[in-house]
């Protein structure tokens, strides 16, 4: 992810809105929270952080030493600090630890793949059926 600390745009805001059209400049009514999951990889180890807070969250990312390392800063407006840190020697083992905590992903049914219809679309469901 790109650096956010010194770019003048501020941190990533993780709070989703269900507003159409998507006017994010004047609307502050958030409905859905996001759960950020960040992974780091090196030649000797892998580590991940799962920030489990449904409140509005801001994530700042910046370069600390001039190399490929990054510093990540989480801040939430409400709620408790519920953070899980995983570490192991390979990405596969880190993902396995995450899956043990959150549950393993199931394979979706074939009819659920490749189609998304929003209630805010201009096209009616009948017209989508004909396509």
Question: Tell me, what DSSP letter sits at residue 66?
Answer: S
- Cα distance between residue 83 and residue 80, in whole Å: 9
Instruction: Tell me the pLDDT band of 84, cut-offs 50, 70 and 90.
Output: very high
Phi, then psi, of 86 in degrees rounded to 5:
-115, 145
Q: Which comes out higher in pLDDT, residue 113 or 99?
A: 99
Coil, strand or helix at 95? helix
pTM value? Answer: 0.64
Averaged pLDDT for residues 21-45: 72
The Cα 117–Cα 45 span in angstroms is: 41
What residues are paired with 37 via a beta bridge?
A: 50
**Which tokens in the block code for residue 15?**
């709070």
């Amino acid at each position: 992810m790109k650096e956010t600390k010194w770019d003048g745009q501020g941190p990533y805001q993780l709070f989703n809105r269900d507003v159409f059209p998507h006017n994010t400049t004047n609307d502050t009514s958030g409905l859905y929270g996001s759960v950020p999951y960040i992974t780091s990889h090196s030649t000797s180890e892998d580590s991940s952080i799962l920030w489990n807070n449904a409140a509005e969250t801001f994530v700042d990312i910046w370069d600390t030493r001039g190399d490929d390392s990054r510093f990540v800063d989480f801040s939430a407006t409400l709620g408790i600090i519920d953070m899980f840190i995983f570490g192991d020697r390979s990405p596969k083992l880190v993902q396995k630890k995450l899956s043990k905590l959150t549950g393993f992903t199931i394979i979706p049914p074939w009819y659920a793949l490749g189609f998304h219809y929003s209630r805010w679309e201009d096209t009616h469901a009948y017209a989508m059926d004909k396509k």
